[in-house]
Structure 1
Amino acid sequence: MAAPVEKREIAGQVKIFNKYTLMCAGYGLASSFVNNGLLRRPFLSGGHRHIAASVIGGVIGYFIGRFESRALAEKEFYIQDYVNRHPEDFTKEQPKKLSEITQRWLPVR
């Protein structure tokens, strides 16, 4: 069953470099440094492994960001759909002032 058109339009494009891409790429790089430290190698040895771990972490981060974007878009779609179907539950009222809600208070001295 295909998703409604409105739902697909809300999701939009996911940026390649989002916060999860950079964060997971950093974790991949750090894991490569830790691996070198645990094996008692110089931290910067094996540059190809550093690059590979960063790229793999970045790809994982991209998919995490894409999942989050789609999940939030779907949630927003269902909430907006509910509000549109039940306008009587979401009436526009004038906001009350605080003085209308609370009782008058005079301090006793």
Structure 2
Amino acid sequence: MPKVIFHKHGQVFEDEVKPETNLVVRAGIKQFPYPNLRYECGMGKCSKCACKVLAGAEHLPPPNWKEKKQLGERIDQGFRLACQIWLTHDIELCQEEITA
């Protein structure tokens, strides 16, 4: 089962998830990484669930058109939309604070 390491607010949260898991779907039904994952629409339209991939990016499919539209050059910095990825391997993510 994929292991997820999630960094936020200087804390680290870890858990295992079933293969083909989407973290926004899990958070929506109040499972890990709820309540720590920031998200909103779950459809790739708002980018609130953007996370920087610290490890495991090589196992993810290429960014889709929604990610390219919402993240732009942030993709080159390692960001992905959590709502658009389904985990099949271990991954380490960091969600930064939104700055105005």
Q: What is the TM-score normalised by the length of structure 1?
A: 0.17
Higher helix share: 1
Could you say which structure has the greater relative contact order, defined with CA pairs below 8 angstroms and 6 or more residues apart? 2
Larger radius of gyration: 1
